[in-house]
Amino acid sequence: MDSQKLHTEFTQKLEQAFGLWEKSTARFGSATYGDVSKELCMSQSQFTKLISGSATDGMYIRANRNIDRLINERLLEARATRIEQELQVASESVKNRNSETGASINRKVVWGVLILIAISMGGVSLWQNIGKEHGSNKSAFSTQHPLDPFFVRDFEEPFDPPYLPESEAQDYCPCSAWEGTWSMESPFQLPLPGSRKPGLYYVAKSADIRMKCSNLHAPYIEKGHALLGYEYLISEIWIDTKQTPLIPKYFNPESMEFTRDFEDLTFANQSGFRRVAVLHAFNVNNFEIYPDSIVRRAEITGRYATDVDETLIRTYEIDLKHILRNVLGNLTKTNCETAPNPYCDPNDLREGESLISFDCLYTIKAENLGLGGGYPYRKEFRFKDQHYSDNLTCRCESQ
């Protein structure tokens, strides 16, 4: 699908959700552009690009899915309101009628309740279908970035964003070009200790990262070369109910590499694998930007579990608290190699295209899987929404 079709689909969905597009007054129905962007949790620059037709295909696809979710949520809310109103009317009618008429009404109420249950079941079914793509209602709220209220606000609200003002963009070059929203490019998975037998695994599913320049950089870092990344990470813990030994099927201790069998594992589609819990973590990343390289250091600020399968926890004697606090805590202390910087000229950074990649080695201190050393993995970030994209004067040779 080309960009023009995606843009047309985007505006049509907005009209379906909010009303006719009035370009002259910058509104959809009675909703201003600010109202719309707030409903969709979008930044000012992102919505402007989407509405003008200059966004990437990926941005349009994600935005269209968000609008579909919003429409479905409104449908469910309307159904719930209608059900409540009908029950209230039926209740008042029963109170105001005589016993004979009341008995008749009671029969109608019974039928009404049955109908309402059917409607409710339809709503639950719809919500489950939405949940398959976007997560449950609980997950939909929990997967919002914790710092959204500080980074994303309505255009018309009094708001002091954490990004650099345009007047300081050149002073903090090249860092100013890196500011914006980044995401984890692809999931990665690792074996975990935490039980007396093998079979426990960690899967990093997605990450939403807000990058901003730091003016509190260390003395050895030049101004404009220190970047802070606030990362909201969604991950999962899975158990292999067959508890297959890691070696030799999944890991080669001589080459210190995972085997093809492990790389091909898709736990959700694999017989014998069950999800133990969904994890939510908030990390602070410190990046140092040099002309040829990027250094990343991360620190966890908190992690919690939801959707915990208590039956699996008991059956396989999994100490989830220990895993959260001690085992996964080591993930932010892993040895990550310095990444090459392919954007020595910050003007080369592009939304939807630019990637930075870190090769890491996860060393587990509480190792109980029969292997010393660590496990290799790669963590990549893709640039989604750039805050400042105008020309910057600190070209590569002058850094």
| Domain edges within the chain | 3-139, 162-398
Instruction: Read off the pLDDT of each residue in 138-162 and give the average, rounded to a whole number.
Output: 71
Which one, of 281, 184, 193, lies nearest residue 232 by Cα? Answer: 281
pTM above 0.75, yes or no: no
CA distances from residue 160 to 19, 69, 157, 164 in whole angstroms, order as listed:
30, 29, 10, 10
Dump strand ranges (E) for the chain. Answer: 21-22, 27-28, 31-32, 180-184, 188-192, 200-213, 226-240, 251-252, 257-258, 273-289, 293-306, 335-336, 339-340, 355-363, 374-386
**Other residues' Cβ atoms within 10 Å of the Cβ of residue 7:** 18
313 Ramachandran zone, left/alpha/beta (phi>0; psi -120 to 50): alpha
At 80 the pLDDT is: 66
At 371 the pLDDT is: 59
User: What tokens does 226 get?
Assistant: 């220190």
pLDDT for 273 beyond 90: yes
pLDDT for 243 beyond 50: yes
At 368 the pLDDT is: 45
pLDDT for 29 beyond 90: no
Best-predicted range by mean pLDDT (117-131, 132-146, 222-236): 222-236
φ/ψ (deg, to 5) at 60? -65, -40
Positive or negative, the CA dihedral 299, 222, 294, 209 is: positive
Give the residues across from 362 on adjacent strands: 375
More confident residue, 67 or 274: 274
**CA 217, CA 213: separation in Å to the nearest integer?**
9
Instruction: Read off the pLDDT of each residue in 289-296 and give the average, rounded to a whole number.
Output: 93
pLDDT for 85 beyond 80: no
What is the Rg, in whole angstroms, of the alpha carbon atoms belonging to the chain? 26
Q: Please provide the DSSP assignment of 347-386 as one string.
A: GG--TTT-EEEEEEEEE-TT--SS--SEEEEEEEEEEEEE
Q: Are strands 355-363 and 374-386 parallel, antiparallel or unpaired?
A: antiparallel
Best-predicted range by mean pLDDT (137-141, 257-261, 393-397): 257-261
CB 336 within 8 A of CB 379: yes
Specify the length of the chain in residues: 399
Mean pLDDT across the chain: 80
At 38 the pLDDT is: 78
In tens, the pLDDT along 359-389 reads 988 876 555 445 566 788 899 999 999 998 8
At 312 the pLDDT is: 94
Per-residue confidence band for 194, with pLDDT thresholds at 50, 70 and 90: low
Instruction: Read off the pLDDT of each residue in 295-322 and give the average, rounded to a whole number.
Output: 91
CA angle 53, 56, 70 (to 5 degrees): 80
pLDDT for 139 beyond 80: no
